[in-house]
Amino acid sequence: MQQNLYDKFTVTHSPLTDTRPAAVSVADQLTSYVLGKLQPGMRLPSEADLAERYGVSRVTMREAVKMLAGRGLLDVARGRRAIVRQPDGSVFGDFLTSLIKSDSKHLFDLIQVRRSLEIQSATMAARHASRAGIMAAEAALARMRAAAQDARRGGEDAAAQMRFHQADADFHEALALASGNRVLSYLFEGMALPFRESFHVSLRGQQMRGLSLEDSVAAHAHILACISNGDVKGAGEAMSKLLDDAERNIRMAYSPASLS
Amino acid sequence: MQQNLYDKFTVTHSPLTDTRPAAVSVADQLTSYVLGKLQPGMRLPSEADLAERYGVSRVTMREAVKMLAGRGLLDVARGRRAIVRQPDGSVFGDFLTSLIKSDSKHLFDLIQVRRSLEIQSATMAARHASRAGIMAAEAALARMRAAAQDARRGGEDAAAQMRFHQADADFHEALALASGNRVLSYLFEGMALPFRESFHVSLRGQQMRGLSLEDSVAAHAHILACISNGDVKGAGEAMSKLLDDAERNIRMAYSPASLS
DNA sequence: AGCGTAAAGTAGTCATACAACTATGTAAAG
DNA sequence: CTTTACATAGTTGTATGACTACTTTACGCT
């Protein structure tokens, strides 16, 4: 969270001059404890215990716990003790989402960022994807195909469209996992969030360009085929084409005159 | 923050069945308010006012405010009302920092991610950097050069080394800004945080390989020259070389036998 | 051993009070 | 008239205690 005005790097060293709010310094200590001694899935002591342990009131302790939850380190729910969370991309996703909400221009910047990361992901996956990794991507591809058929048959089936988008995101996340780079997969997981909110826009652009979900499935299948064959260059180029297409879809929906 | 178990996308639509804690739903409303009606730099109403406005106690309102602060949307400090914050990369940086703390393998994943983003940044900057953008990068380069000299003269001058690293980060952020992609510059700003903590490791590897800070300055200068000349391909390749080198430095410090 | 229910544990919320710091306005000094 | 000093009000930080709503545990029954 980088508690705003209280820069931990310049202050924390000398506890005697630590003028930060107690909640902040307790949060820092708790962070070290969680990251250092605990494993994902483990339960923390209760707020009351922690409060006593750190010598603060429960209100203050609660704030510290909430800060860690805000950084995605803990799962907190009513009635049960907090649980150490497995790292994931949701914090990054929320960051991107509010960025785009504050200025929609950021969406196009993000598309460009995503493009180069996806190309790297596909390239690396083609280089050293495992059998299991490819099977996971194939499963996601199958879900995309099924959702595409449902959406076609059901007309404006919003649920099927949502399933399609989810399977699409799963596919790209599977490739990132197959690339062996976990940070990359966290970033994709996070990017899926803001794209989910604009995916109906993308869909509209796709239809305006006379393309169907099945076309998208075929493009994804081609990428996976390249990866499966170890065709590094082909995988990168195919992914590049796919992302160019996705960008055209969104731009088309925003300003139909600007692009093919 | 994606308040953990409480998925805003599946629940928020129907307020009647909103079983989330009050603090969470108030935080969502406040987020919309801040992102929609307020501009960076503006001050929020006091916690007491907000609490009354949303019909909750001050304790609950405080939690909501803290959640927004955690997402990097607000600056909160004792005695003064919260201020809407300009977007920046600190949230992303904290995310990466805790990721690396939980498993140092993530550092190498991050280096690969950074590599493709830096190449994209240099490429785009070469394509359409403004005069002002290039001057900003030149200024950062000058600071790098000065810090490198100080560090050489001062022996193990930790402060000069820190200045060098800061100027280095500024240089790359300046390129991202020159590329015109603001999301990219936020990401670089965030990545600088975890790299700051491992930069002395990188330095050690650099020395082990017989390279000096001046060599690094020269490599950066070459990149900037390419960008300044509009040499898109050259800029990308030069940046690629620089990042390969940086990775070698870190790997060398971790396991001296593994690489040149 | 399995099940249901009572009891204990735990997070969520509230009201209130005071502490610590900041911002503001007012009066004295130059 | 400007500047400084200070008292005052405004605002966030923290503590206490109580109660609610939900989850987990433990006990007793079948």
- Three-state SS for A39-107 is CCCCECCCHHHHHHHHCCCHHHHHHHHHHHHHCCCEEEECCEEEEECCCCCHHHHHHHHHHHHHCCHHH
Q: What's the rounded mean pLDDT across residues B51-78?
A: 96
Q: Render pLDDT for A200-213 as a digit per residue (tens, 0 to 9).
A: 888 888 889 888 89
Q: Check residue A2 and give its pLDDT.
A: 38
How far does the CA of A101 sit from the C1' of C21, in Å? 34
pTM: 0.90
Distance CA B123, CA B128 (A): 9
Q: Render pLDDT for B121-140 as a digit per residue (tens, 0 to 9).
A: 999 999 999 999 999 999 99
Pick from A1, A91, A181: CB nearest B112:
A181
**Farthest CA pair distance, chain B:** 69
Using DSSP, state whether B39 is helix, strand or coil. Answer: coil
Query: Which residues 6+ apart lie within 8 Å of B156 measured at CB?
Result: none
Distance CA A56, CA A23 (A): 8
Q: Check residue A17 and give its pLDDT.
A: 61
Please, which pLDDT band fits residue A184 given cuts at 50, 70 and 90?
A: very high
Q: Check residue A30 and give its pLDDT.
A: 97
Contact B74, B62 (CB under 8 A): no
Distance CA A196, CA A185 (A): 16
C-alpha triplet A86, A89, A90: angle, nearest 5°: 95
B132: closest CA of chain A, how far (Å): 20
Per the rule left: phi > 0, alpha: psi between -120 and 50, beta: everything else, A229 is alpha
Q: What's the rounded mean pLDDT across residues B165-182?
A: 96
Q: What is the interface size between A and B, counted as CB pairs within 8 Å?
A: 148
Q: Check residue A5 and give its pLDDT.
A: 44
Please, which pLDDT band fits residue A146 given cuts at 50, 70 and 90?
A: very high
Terminal-residue alpha carbon distance, chain B:
42
What is the average pLDDT score of chain B?
90
Using DSSP, state whether A14 is helix, strand or coil. Answer: coil
Q: What share of chain A is helix, strand, coil (3-state, %, to 5)?
A: 75, 5, 25
Q: Inform me whether the pLDDT recorded for A249 exceeds 50.
A: yes
Closest residue in A to B21 (Cα) is A78
Q: Render pLDDT for A43-94 as a digit per residue (tens, 0 to 9).
A: 999 999 999 999 999 999 999 999 999 999 999 999 999 999 999 999 999 9
Q: Render pLDDT for A93-127 as a digit per residue (tens, 0 to 9).
A: 999 999 999 999 999 999 999 999 999 999 999 99
Token pair of B143 as six digits:
């600071």
Please, which pLDDT band fits residue B157 given cuts at 50, 70 and 90?
A: confident
